[in-house]
């Protein structure tokens, strides 16, 4: 046994917030985030009686004008922005963070998509650590409506653009219930393929414990539970599923290696605990097995061959068998039990597989367990549990690897080999990311132009607009354009489509029926944006509030709970009778298109010159590309203020690595608050091919 000595003096501290994203107090009055700081020594043990100083600072709100009733605090009854706490016996110091309370819908400074955030700072022994927390007054989606231009003459077109952003406080990853299985057989003491050699690096068990602990740490940030099963000649349920991660990490740290390899029983115990103690309602359920070799106790994990029921039958722990296994009475009724005399194979010599009853004794056995829950892949699959299997340093035999692949693949997991500690850590991290499934909401939207508020009166407006269906012409994204994307990728924009967006669809028939446009959006996940753009022709003058009281977004979360969000009065549109009523502003955009070149550089520069005449305003410029799909997609946007007439050079870069190989055209769109959008002449098309070569040709 190796004994290690280390200093018990405190050396560092860590800070966590649970949850990090939450509703504001107007949504959930009793909400708080538990801020935990753990002070530890160099061995990772908690150190008590250490003073930790907490403070908080609040960042600007979004929007900055949103009203608040209560500000963030460490107290639910008063404003407390700093405090100190002593660590307990476990080394933990904890405080509660209470978010802001925003004003309600009847207040003039209310906003239905309000967001706030604070930074929590923990100082101990002169060292500072921090964590950010965010709070919102909406659960799932925020809506952003842009009307371009915001002022038009009767008879002119206007583009209406609606974005639904998946950024609400309740769009968090689904909860995870995961059991770790760690092999603690004798070979896990080795640090070479066949033995332990002093100075040759850490033992397998130590590397396994370190990697498993890191995995547990990754589970702290969500609504997750972790448990632990370990096995050698016997199996122990070290910790049932729990959200007390410190206990699980302590259990891991106390594992020691000796004995044989009872893999089958370990899988049974882990699957059973997840099934009996796991949560429902969309929870991701998984078991992660770590082993360094073949099984030799209880035998086939897939219940292959003959299963032996009687306790008189024991396993020698010498070799793996693929034609017999231990029948588990806890799964009674799974498989047909028979009773009779059995000739045991493999009982002679030093590699015997079984120790068995005396000759002539009848035993209970099962010959069809492979097709029942005696097979661990079926047992896990029928209970909705994924299995992941990792072998470490020593690669199992071909037959065991085949069994592990069947076990994992059939349940939605996988088997991989880690030849060293770094690979093992990477695989645990890979599994943690795969288990972290973003929750989403199934979404539909309806925009209603039949009744709108015009000049402060709610009236029938069914004859005041005309829908314009058109393929994108360079002056707008198109009508009707639909798209869904995140920061890096475009997706299919709804269940009614089978192509990646942006797409152009014709909603003329739908508009003519009742002056409504309906959208079957499908699932929106955290970090995703769904967008539509449609063009209308204004037929009557007035100041229109968009949208109507009947316009809304409906969504259903992953638990099946329905809810909705109003799209009432997000923006306005001013329609005047003639040009004499318009504020005169003019913008001219003159691009300098890239010339004929052949390059391996996928970064394509584009320059333009913007000339503006008119009073002080804000100019917004968008650089856009259009693929062969026919819709313009913005890849760059910037705004700047001008005091009067202005002329300046502008530039940006189109990164073709963000798009699929194909033909792309470019142009610049510019507009102000009060002018019609202006688009530059189109540059291109440019061909970006699969070898990373950029070819530019001029028409």
| pLDDT, tens only, 518-571 | 999 999 998 899 999 999 999 998 888 888 888 999 988 887 888 888 887 777
Q: Which residues pair with 54 in a beta bridge?
A: 83, 122
Domain housing 632: 586-696
Is residue 148 domain-resident?
yes
Co-location of 421 and 327 in the same domain:
no
Q: What's the pLDDT at 618?
A: 83
Q: How far apart are CA 498 and CA 509, in angstroms?
A: 21
Q: How far apart are CA 288 and CA 404, in angstroms?
A: 12
Q: What's the pLDDT at 505?
A: 95
Is residue 634 domain-resident?
yes
Is residue 5 domain-resident?
no
Burial string for 145-155 (b: 16+ CB within 10 Å, else e) reads bebbbbbbbbe
Is residue 298 domain-resident?
no
Co-location of 480 and 363 in the same domain:
no
> What average pLDDT does the chain have?
84
> Does residue 1 carry a pLDDT above 90?
no
Beta pairing class for 490-491 and 481-485? antiparallel
Q: What's the pLDDT at 554?
A: 92
DSSP string across 322-381:
SSEEEPPGGGTTSS-EEEE----SS-SSTT--EE-PPTT--EEEES-GGGSTTSHHHHHH
Co-location of 427 and 505 in the same domain:
no
Cα–Cα distances (Å) from 231 to 93, 330, 682, in that order, read 35, 18, 67
Which of 57-61, 341-345, 591-595 is predicted with the least confidence, judged by mean pLDDT?
A: 341-345
Kindly state the percentage of the chain with pLDDT values over 70: 87
3-class secondary-structure state, position 400: helix
Single residue among 336, 354, 374 that ends a domain in this structure: 374
Single residue among 85, 117, 137 that ends a domain in this structure: 137
- Residue 193's domain is classified under what CATH number? 3.40.50.410
Co-location of 456 and 563 in the same domain:
yes
Co-location of 242 and 270 in the same domain:
yes
Co-location of 599 and 660 in the same domain:
yes
Co-location of 686 and 555 in the same domain:
no
Q: How far apart are CA 699 and CA 697, in angstroms?
A: 7
Is residue 3 domain-resident?
no
- Residue 34's domain is classified under what CATH number? 2.60.40.10
Which helix (H) or strand (E) covers residue 510, if one does?
Answer: helix 508-514
Q: Which residues pair with 306 in a beta bridge?
A: 324
Answer whether 0.75 is exceeded by the pTM: no
Q: How far apart are CA 504 and CA 627, in angstroms?
A: 12
Confidence of residue 692 (pLDDT cuts 50, 70, 90): very low
Report phi then psi at 20, rounded to 5. Answer: -90, -25
Q: What's the pLDDT at 29?
A: 92
Bond from prior residue into 547 cis (ω within 30 degrees of 0)? yes
CB distance 182 to 267 below 8 Å:
no
Q: What's the pLDDT at 17?
A: 82
Co-location of 199 and 232 in the same domain:
yes
CB distance 310 to 357 below 8 Å:
yes
Is residue 1 domain-resident?
no
Co-location of 488 and 560 in the same domain:
yes
Is residue 297 domain-resident?
no
Q: 595-642, pLDDT tens digit by residue?
A: 755 556 778 888 999 988 877 788 888 888 887 656 678 888 888 888
Co-location of 269 and 411 in the same domain:
yes
Co-location of 125 and 44 in the same domain:
yes
3-class secondary-structure state, position 65: coil
Number of domains in the chain: 5
Single residue among 556, 581, 606 that ends a domain in this structure: 581
- HSE-up (13 A, CA, CB side) for residue 675: 23
Is residue 364 domain-resident?
yes
Co-location of 349 and 483 in the same domain:
no
For residue 149 the two structure tokens come to 């231009």
């Amino acid at each position: 046994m190796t004994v290690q000595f280390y200093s018990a003096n405190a050396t560092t501290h860590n800070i966590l917030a649970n949850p990090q994203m939450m509703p504001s107090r107007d949504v959930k009055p009793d909400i708080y985030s538990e801020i935990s700081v753990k002070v530890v020594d160099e061995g990772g043990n908690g150190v008590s009686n250490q003073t930790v100083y907490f403070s908080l600072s609040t960042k600007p709100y979004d929007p900055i004008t949103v009203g608040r009733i209560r500000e963030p605090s460490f107290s639910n009854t008063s404003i407390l922005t700093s405090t100190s706490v002593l660590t307990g016996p476990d080394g933990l110091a904890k405080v509660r963070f209470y978010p802001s309370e925003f004003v309600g819908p009847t207040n003039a400074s209310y906003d239905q998509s309000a967001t706030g955030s604070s930074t929590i700072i923990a100082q101990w022994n002169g060292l500072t650590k921090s964590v950010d927390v965010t709070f919102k007054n909406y659960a799932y989606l925020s809506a952003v409506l842009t009307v371009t231009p915001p002022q038009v003459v009767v008879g002119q077109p206007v583009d209406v653009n609606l974005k639904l952003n998946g950024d609400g406080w309740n769009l968090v990853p689904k909860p995870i219930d995961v059991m770790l299985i760690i092999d603690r057989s004798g070979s896990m003491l080795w640090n070479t393929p066949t033995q332990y050699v002093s100075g040759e690096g850490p033992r397998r068990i130590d590397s396994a414990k370190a990697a498993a602990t890191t995995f547990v740490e990754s589970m702290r940030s969500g609504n997750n539970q972790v448990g632990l099963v370990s096995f050698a000649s016997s199996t122990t349920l070290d910790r049932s599923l729990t959200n007390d991660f410190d206990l699980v990490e302590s259990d891991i740290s106390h594992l020691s290696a000796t004995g044989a390899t009872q893999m089958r029983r370990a899988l049974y115990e882990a699957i059973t605990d997840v099934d009996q103690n796991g949560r429902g309602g969309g929870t991701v359920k998984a078991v992660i097995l770590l082993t360094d070799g073949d099984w030799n106790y209880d035998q086939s994990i897939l219940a292959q061959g003959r299963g032996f029921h009687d306790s008189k039958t024991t396993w020698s722990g010498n070799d793996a068998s693929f034609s017999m296994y231990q029948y588990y009475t806890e799964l009674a009724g799974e498989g047909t039990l028979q009773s009779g005399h059995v000739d045991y194979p493999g009982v002679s010599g030093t590699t015997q597989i079984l120790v068995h009853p005396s000759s002539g004794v009848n035993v209970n056995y099962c010959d069809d367990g492979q097709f029942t829950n005696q097979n661990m892949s079926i047992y896990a699959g029928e209970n909705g549990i994924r299995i992941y299997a990792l072998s470490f340093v020593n690669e199992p035999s071909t037959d065991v690897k085949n069994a592990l692949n069947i076990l994992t693949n059939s349940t939605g997991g996988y088997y991989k080999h880690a030849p060293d500690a770094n690979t093992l850590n990477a695989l645990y991290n890979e599994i943690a990311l795969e288990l972290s499934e973003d929750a989403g909401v199934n979404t539909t939207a309806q925009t209603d132009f039949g009744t709108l508020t015009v000049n402060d009166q709610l009236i029938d407006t069914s004859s005041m607009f005309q829908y314009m269906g058109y393929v994108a012409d360079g002056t707008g994204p198109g009508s009707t354009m639909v798209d869904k994307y995140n920061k890096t990728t475009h997706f299919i924009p709804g269940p009614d489509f089978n192509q990646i967006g942006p797409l152009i669809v014709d909603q003329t028939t739908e508009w003519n029926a009742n002056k409504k446009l309906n959208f079957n959006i499908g699932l929106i996940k955290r970090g995703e944006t769904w967008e539509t753009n449609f063009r209308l022709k204004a037929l009557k003058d007035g100041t229109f509030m968009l949208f109507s009281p009947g316009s809304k977004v409906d969504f259903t979360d992953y638990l099946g709970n329905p809810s909705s969000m109003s799209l009432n009065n997000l923006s306005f549109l001013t329609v005047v009778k003639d040009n004499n009523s318009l504020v005169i502003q003019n913008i001219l955009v003159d691009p300098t298109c890239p010339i004929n070149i052949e390059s391996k550089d996928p970064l394509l520069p584009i320059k333009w010159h913007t000339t503006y005449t008119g009073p002080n305003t804000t100019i917004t410029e968008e650089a856009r590309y259009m693929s062969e799909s026919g819709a313009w997609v913005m890849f760059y946007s910037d705004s700047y203020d001008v005091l009067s007439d202005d002329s300046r050079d502008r530039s940006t870069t189109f990164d073709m690595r963000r798009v699929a190989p194909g033909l792309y055209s470019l142009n610049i769109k510019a507009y102000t608050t009060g002018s019609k959008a202006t688009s530059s002449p189109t540059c291109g098309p440019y061909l970006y091919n699969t070898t990373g070569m950029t070819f530019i040709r001029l028409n």
